[in-house]
Structure 1
Amino acid sequence: MKSPPSGGFLRGGTSLAEIKRAAVIGAGVMGAAIAGHLANAGIRTTLLDIVPKELTDKEKAKGLTLEEKSVRNRLSRMGKERLFKEKPAPLFHKKMAEKIEVGNLEDDLHCLSEVDWVIEAVVENLNIKQDLFTRIEQVWKPGIIVSSNTSGISIREMVEGRSEAFRSHFLGTHFFNPPRYMKLLEIIPTKDTDRQIVSKMKAFAEETLGKGVVDAKDTPNFIANRIGVYGLAITFQKMLEENLGPDEVDTVTGRAMGRPKSATFRTLDLVGLDTFVHVSDNVRENVQDPEEKKAFEVPELLQEMVEKGWIGAKSGQGFFKKVKGEKGSEILALDPKTREYRPRKKLKAPSLEMSKRAKTQKEQFRSLVYADDTAGRLAWYITKKVLLYSAARIPEIADDIVSVDRAMRWGFNWDLGPFEVWDAIGVEKSVARMREEGETIPPLVEELLASGAKSFYERTPETTSVFHLGGSFRKVEEHPKAISLARLKEQNRVIKSNRGASLIDIGDDVLCLEFHSPKNAIAADIIQMIGTAVKELNTHYRGLVIGNQGSNFCIGANLMLILMEAQDQNWPELDLMVRQFQQTMGSLRYVDKPVVAAPFGMTLGGGVEVALPADRIQASAETYMGLVETGVGLIPGGGGNKELLLRWMDGVDPKDRLVLQPLVNHVFETIAMAKVSTSAMEARDYKFLRESDGISMNGDHLIFEAKQAVLAMDQSGYRAPERKKIPVVGETGYNTLRLGAYEMLQSGYISQHDYKIASKLAYVLAGGNLPEGTLVDEQYLLDIEREAFLSLAGEPKSQQRMQHMLTKNKPLRN
């Protein structure tokens, strides 16, 4: 294998931001996925594993030997190949795999001397890791960072006996699985680790890898797994005590408690029961407190399940099992008493229904944990135990509670960390109940109450302070790129606002248009605020960012409103709504100030139509863009067809008809098939993003980086784009597109109604029945788009599709 070029990290005064080459040792599920995410970040990565000791049957059939390079690199090659098969996809784009080279630890160990960062991700065995680091040091050069991805083995013990220089460059970097999607990275230094390396690695992980970093201590399972596994363990024990099933417990411990939908036992199935047992054993074997040891004892049922191979999703069954029945697939739940699977059932309790009606997550939590029914008592017990355990672990696992809260939010996807939960339910009230129940209150909490404080966090519009052992509050340092729109609103930086959107001054004479309607769906109030933004830009400001910090950027137009108007046959009102949307997007495109859209998460339908007219898009790496209107029986109605056409035609000679038709075909296929990108990088394939558009690895920095793009355009003397005539493929192109759709109809790939929708879309994209090569203005395309949209909205089958999406949240084929 060709040796990679040197990255020069920390050599000759270069900064850590210059990590250009990395090596990952261990091509298992986690190691390969880490290599994949490094490649996502643009880092050339070498993936190494051991040399196989035996040939596979396929290798024998090919006449290969153990000395063949393909055999010797088999394990690392298989790790790389697995990146193309796993779901969710570890790679932003398949082409990112080109940045990964494979090799083995015997032939290619010397390559480690030429990279900037070496990450160990081999089996969780201390002796194996120690032997590996002995070998690594033989080729190691000063300046190369070496880290372990262990989930709980002592970082210090791994490098005992290594040189002082090597130890100073060594630390733990615990990625959470899957590395692409999980925000948390725990950085675990030892007493020998150079502090400058720790701080620079943190900056690199946040900026380049897009991670949320917490500083952890070299203790069993660090922060997130220590608390998270404890919570899972006591939940398991409580389930058995209360004679409940995993499905009933999951009814309570999921979204009702601000946790992921996978709750407790579905999460265990996803993680793997064998992994859970391993992590539990690691804590039990390495802590001294008898009560803590007892909490991490693996219950008999769990041991039985692991012995039977019922270890979760990877084995096909765990606490849940998917089976095929007469009515299709069904998911069964394990009965803990009989050890047999039965149909799933939900726990029903008044508190669960009441919590759903709460306006905020904090209100929801309070109403649940203080309720006197089965769900409330279960939620209280789990919450109480986790809060007490978390507080008792300070300062053992972390010096501050912020690290603990962030670790649980970023590593386990909790809405609120333990101390944020404590503030939400009331520290005084909850502690009083805990005392009544005979619980021991940790020193941290006793100190808080003795100080007269009512909560762990004290917030003002300007700062957040947090309580520390010793009785003092200290300011929480925020990342300079982490602009909080909520905090700016608290600082009275709102310029204009209505029910659906707000205009916020984000500094430097830049506005941010924030959506805050339900699911950020577009309706008249948002359209009105976009128009207001254009007026404000023309008089007072340097530019505009369109962005928000909700769950998703925008899921599209308000479908319920469209359906209601269509069912009432209120065509003038619906026509006006669509016309206003089109006109407002047009004014956004041609306003004489720079506009940058900052999409993230689900950016669908009308969300794409808001983003496309912007001068630039600064997208989060995890952005899923698509014009998906055909799924609800419509076509884009806010100018999306025209905007995507313009992007595909950019730079094309309008007289070159041989080039023009294939481009229109691409646009037609993208919209007709409702294609959605699986990342911002893939969005470039569909031209939802241009090559010149930016991608932010860290979603917390998205608004800041979009603002910087606005300022850069303003400083370079921004001028609005000029309106241009658009060449259309006309009637000839229309027939070509319809023919393709007809062939799909005849082959059974689409329904008759799909064909009707496709024909309407083809007419719009082709420019109608005009002669091929005719130049038209944008308004012409908008007019025929609006006519087609309204026509489809009146179709009964389209209305059925809209109704089905609203009630079932999935498309209907009719």
Structure 2
Amino acid sequence: MRFQVRKAAVLGAGVMGAQIAAHFINVRVPVVLFDLPAKEGPKNGIAVKAVENLKKLKPAPLGLAEEAALIRAANYEDDLALLAECDLVIEAIAERMDWKQDLYAKIAPHVAPHAILASNTSGLSITQLAQGLPDSVQERFCGIHFFNPPRYMQLVELIPAPRTAPGILDQLETFVTTGLGKGVVRAKDTPNFIANRVGVMNMLATMVEAERFKLGYDVVDDLTGKKLGRANSGTFRTADVVGLDTLAHVVRTMQEQLPNDPFNPHFATPPVLAGLIAQGALGQKAGAGFYKKVGKDILRLDPEKRDYVPSGAKADEIIGRMLKKPAPERLKLLREASNPQAQFLWAILRDGFHYAAVHLHDIAESARDVDLALRWGFGMAQGPFELWQAAGWTQVAQWIREDIAAGKTLSSAPLPAWVFEGPVAERGGVHVPEGSWSASQGRFVPKHALPVYERQLFPESVAGLGANALQSGTELFKNEELRAWTLDGEVLIASITSKMHLISPTVTEGLMKAVELAEERFKGLVVWSPDDMFSAGANLEALMPVFMAKGPAGIDPEEKKLQQLMLRVRYAQVPVVAALRGIALGGGCELIVHCARRVAAMESYVGLVEVGVGLIPGAGGLTYIARRAAEKGAAAPNTDLLPFLKEGFTAAAMATVGTGALDSRRLGYLLESDLVVPHKDELLYVALNEVRALAACGYRPPLRRSFPVAGRSGIATIETQLVGMRDGGFISAHDFRIARMIADVVCGGDVDAGTLVTEDYLMALERKHFCTLLAHPKTQERIMGLLQTGKPVRN
């Protein structure tokens, strides 16, 4: 039977518990948030306050802030009977074994007989936590470790207790994967599990090596951030975001519970970290930690001066060049260079490899689980075993052994025998097509199989062993920037392959051909690409040669071709479905709104942002806003159109981008009929099925029809507000000019209110204003500024 979560409960309204509850609301699961009864005022006061605080947190834990009201606040004294209605109960109170066990004794009689009870502990023993539970509940109890912030972090670790029924983890993994959109790793019941065990050790190693090589925190963060293929925040800024007290707690758990770990001497809280905590400088939440913001300036701690000094120092340029080399050459250069920054990077990479290899047997079923846990929990592009293997397994192993012998490593523990002998050495690494190395089983084991993973047609994999979507299926045609292919012979897939999936004339031509081919031979078309970006918009750089040769007049026909593509997509004889995740901006937004349906991952950021380069949306985006306003107005006859235009006009004029799929739906770029999919790797599966369903229902495109516009009176009303903003200094004269043109298009130009117009008419207005702006010096400044620096220019 399918495990259905019709309602969930979260016990503990702290920062983590409240955000877990928020994510349940994001995925449309009703949730009850419990905490202690308040000593003063309403008994639910603590939980109510936590719910209200969710609206203020950044990054936002809720897709829509106003949906905080959907979380039901409760307390342990009056509301335990509500637990009987819940299919999943997650405990997320403070990391105290005695407190958790006391709470379990209180709630156990009220938990539904079929419900799963899970603890969101970050490292306490699941075995010990289970001991106080009745036998019947122990079978349905396990650990469930979300990473902070739970809406955005992909990793969830599941940890069984000794008596957890075998099917319970399968049921929970299925729900967490497809229902919450997470990547699940099953961990053994060891202190801090997998990701924190290895990841925090990496942070401690970084702190030790940074002090050894006398590197500033800002330089270390630049070295250990994006350049190294890790989270942009690097190491010390990440510690500030996590909370220095939280980091210290995890470190203390390792120190106390792993006395025989050969790396234990380095589990002590670093003196600088202890000093900051003693001062109350707990990181970002306290306003100071390794960094401190003063006005607009970011200062960093100077441990010698015990004061904050200006930050912003970067890694040496030569290091950046080294880190762009292929893995074998990269690690060799780092190890052999005399530059202390290079030596530091080799040291922390070596320390990570060393620790992961020594402990693989104890903490994880396979090397795959370690690599994915570090990717999903700590933002690494590659896990430690992946990088080691990519750099040359035997060579790197030999270098580590030499460093151990020379006393350069954090521990003298030798690498395990399996590193040098047997299947791993023979196959050149821990990841091979049939599976990943399990040190505890002494063999390569395949990925954990559950039916839910059949929905992930191209799941994230390790060491490049997964299928490459852009080389899979049957290819129908391909040009330099688009591939048209099919998996089943029923639905055509178009994948944009240009940089940032920018829409150039080549992409336009390819999409037009894909629509024609879909109409001829397939049930429909899905526009999907296998990475975290749908499209960043139109490729302005590709149009520069035309502009330089012919000026704005030369752009008009190119823009018209793009508009014709949008209408071709909208009126195709088969359904065209956009499957999007990441950003869909400018032309990317215009493409999706003209599709028959949209299937969006939860973290999809959609908007018309052309004003940032001094332009207006020119590929039907404003026409879409006008048409949608007319469609809404038709449901309320004899009313003014302007109120229905307000949100769309404002979003385009302010370049507002939806902060996720739910917010993008609020802005009108996604519709209520569109599907929001929690797990990004299920997008293609759902989109293909959506095409099949539409085709099975006898899909027909919408009929072309005229619709009313707000006319010159609507323009005048908007212009009055814009004049006030300009004269008040809130927008520049050029911003005013652009916004006035946007108003002209969405209101239909110089016509009477209620005049019926066509999409072609409005698109002609779009092109006219688009080309006029292209000739304006202020717009040219913005375009060149963005192309040269990647940053918007305000003028």
Name the TM tier (shorter chain): over 0.9
- Alpha-carbon distance in 1 for matches of 2:283, 2:422: 41
Identity of aligned residues (%): 36
**1:170 aligned to 141, 160, 183, which one?**
141
What pairs up with 1:335-374 in 2 under 5 angstroms? 335-349=302-316, 351-355=318-322, 357-358=324-325, 371-374=337-340
Instruction: Determine helix, strand or coil for the equivalent of 1:554.
Output: coil
Deviation at 1:393, TM superposition (A): 1.6
Q: Is 1:198 the counterpart of 2:169 in the alignment?
A: yes
**2:228 aligned to 249, 257, 263, which one?**
257
Match of 2:410 in 1: none
Q: Which moved more, 1:643-652 or 1:484-493?
A: 484-493
Q: Is 1:288 the counterpart of 2:274 in the alignment?
A: no
**1:240 aligned to 211, 214, 217, which one?**
211
Q: Is the 8 A contact 1:43 1:99 kept in 2?
A: no
Map Cα deviations across residues 507-554 of structure 1 (whole Å, 9 max, x no partner). Answer: 242122112212222212211211121121122222111111223211
- Alpha-carbon distance in 2 for matches of 1:473, 1:114: 43
- Alpha-carbon distance in 2 for matches of 1:774, 1:52: 60
Match of 2:403 in 1: 437
Structure 2 runs not aligned, ≥5 long: 406-413, 460-466
Change over 3 Å in CA distance of 1:331–1:95 after alignment to 2: closer
What pairs up with 1:308-347 in 2 under 5 angstroms? 308-324=279-295, 329-347=296-314
Q: Is the 8 A contact 1:388 1:442 kept in 2?
A: no
Change over 3 Å in CA distance of 1:220–1:477 after alignment to 2: closer
Instruction: Determine helix, strand or coil for the equivalent of 1:538.
Output: helix
Deviation at 1:370, TM superposition (A): 6.2
- Alpha-carbon distance in 2 for matches of 1:799, 1:614: 31
Match of 1:590 in 2: 571
- Alpha-carbon distance in 2 for matches of 1:230, 1:539: 57
Change over 3 Å in CA distance of 1:804–1:488 after alignment to 2: closer
**1:147 aligned to 105, 118, 125, which one?**
118
- Alpha-carbon distance in 1 for matches of 2:636, 2:272: 73
Match of 1:752 in 2: 733
TM-score norm. by structure 1 comes to 0.91
**2:458 aligned to 467, 484, 487, which one?**
484
What pairs up with 1:634-649 in 2 under 5 angstroms? 634-649=615-630
Deviation at 1:89, TM superposition (A): 0.7
- Alpha-carbon distance in 1 for matches of 2:348, 2:597: 47
**2:273 aligned to 298, 302, 319, which one?**
302
Match of 2:480 in 1: 499
Map Cα deviations across residues 160-210 of structure 1 (whole Å, 9 max, x no partner). Answer: 132211111111111111111111111111110111111000000111111
Letter in 2 for 1:509: E
Map Cα deviations across residues 346-393 of structure 1 (whole Å, 9 max, x no partner). Answer: 3543542314655x7887677656655323221211111111211222
- Alpha-carbon distance in 2 for matches of 1:93, 1:802: 33
- Alpha-carbon distance in 2 for matches of 1:77, 1:654: 37
- Alpha-carbon distance in 1 for matches of 2:168, 2:442: 31
Q: Is the 8 A contact 2:328 2:392 kept in 1?
A: no
Letter in 2 for 1:805: L
**2:435 aligned to 465, 478, 498, which one?**
465
Match of 1:398 in 2: 364
Instruction: Determine helix, strand or coil for the equivalent of 1:513.
Output: strand
Instruction: Determine helix, strand or coil for the equivalent of 1:534.
Output: helix
Deviation at 1:687, TM superposition (A): 1.3
Q: Is 1:23 the counterpart of 2:9 in the alignment?
A: yes
Match of 2:555 in 1: 574
Instruction: Determine helix, strand or coil for the equivalent of 2:641.
Output: helix
Q: Is the 8 A contact 1:351 1:371 kept in 2?
A: no
Deviation at 1:769, TM superposition (A): 1.4
- Alpha-carbon distance in 1 for matches of 2:642, 2:272: 64
Q: Is 1:726 the counterpart of 2:725 in the alignment?
A: no
Q: Which moved more, 1:284-293 or 1:467-476?
A: 467-476
Map Cα deviations across residues 126-163 of structure 1 (whole Å, 9 max, x no partner). Answer: 11111111111132342121111110111111121322
Match of 2:408 in 1: none
Q: Which moved more, 1:362-371 or 1:37-46?
A: 362-371
Letter in 2 for 1:454: G
Number of residue pairs matched by the alignment: 776
Change over 3 Å in CA distance of 1:141–1:725 after alignment to 2: closer
Q: Which moved more, 1:632-641 or 1:492-501?
A: 492-501
Letter in 2 for 1:481: R
Q: Is the 8 A contact 1:493 1:504 kept in 2?
A: yes
- Alpha-carbon distance in 1 for matches of 2:95, 2:281: 21
Match of 2:157 in 1: 186
- Alpha-carbon distance in 2 for matches of 1:450, 1:183: 29
Match of 2:420 in 1: 446
Change over 3 Å in CA distance of 1:304–1:528 after alignment to 2: same
Map Cα deviations across residues 701-741 of structure 1 (whole Å, 9 max, x no partner). Answer: 11111111111111111122221112222223222332232
Map Cα deviations across residues 92-140 of structure 1 (whole Å, 9 max, x no partner). Answer: 1124323211121112223223322211111111111111111111323
Q: Is 1:696 the counterpart of 2:677 in the alignment?
A: yes
Match of 1:411 in 2: 377
- Alpha-carbon distance in 2 for matches of 1:403, 1:503: 34
- Alpha-carbon distance in 1 for matches of 2:145, 2:239: 19
Match of 1:45 in 2: 31
Match of 2:780 in 1: 799
Q: Which moved more, 1:301-310 or 1:468-477?
A: 468-477
Q: Report the aligned-residue RMSD.
A: 2.2
Instruction: Determine helix, strand or coil for the equivalent of 2:265.
Output: helix
TM-score norm. by structure 2 comes to 0.93
Q: Is the 8 A contact 1:41 1:209 kept in 2?
A: yes
Q: Is 1:602 the counterpart of 2:583 in the alignment?
A: yes
- Alpha-carbon distance in 2 for matches of 1:568, 1:265: 50
**2:96 aligned to 105, 125, 148, which one?**
125
Match of 1:63 in 2: none
Deviation at 1:592, TM superposition (A): 1.1
Deviation at 1:245, TM superposition (A): 1.3
Q: Is the 8 A contact 2:251 2:267 kept in 1?
A: yes
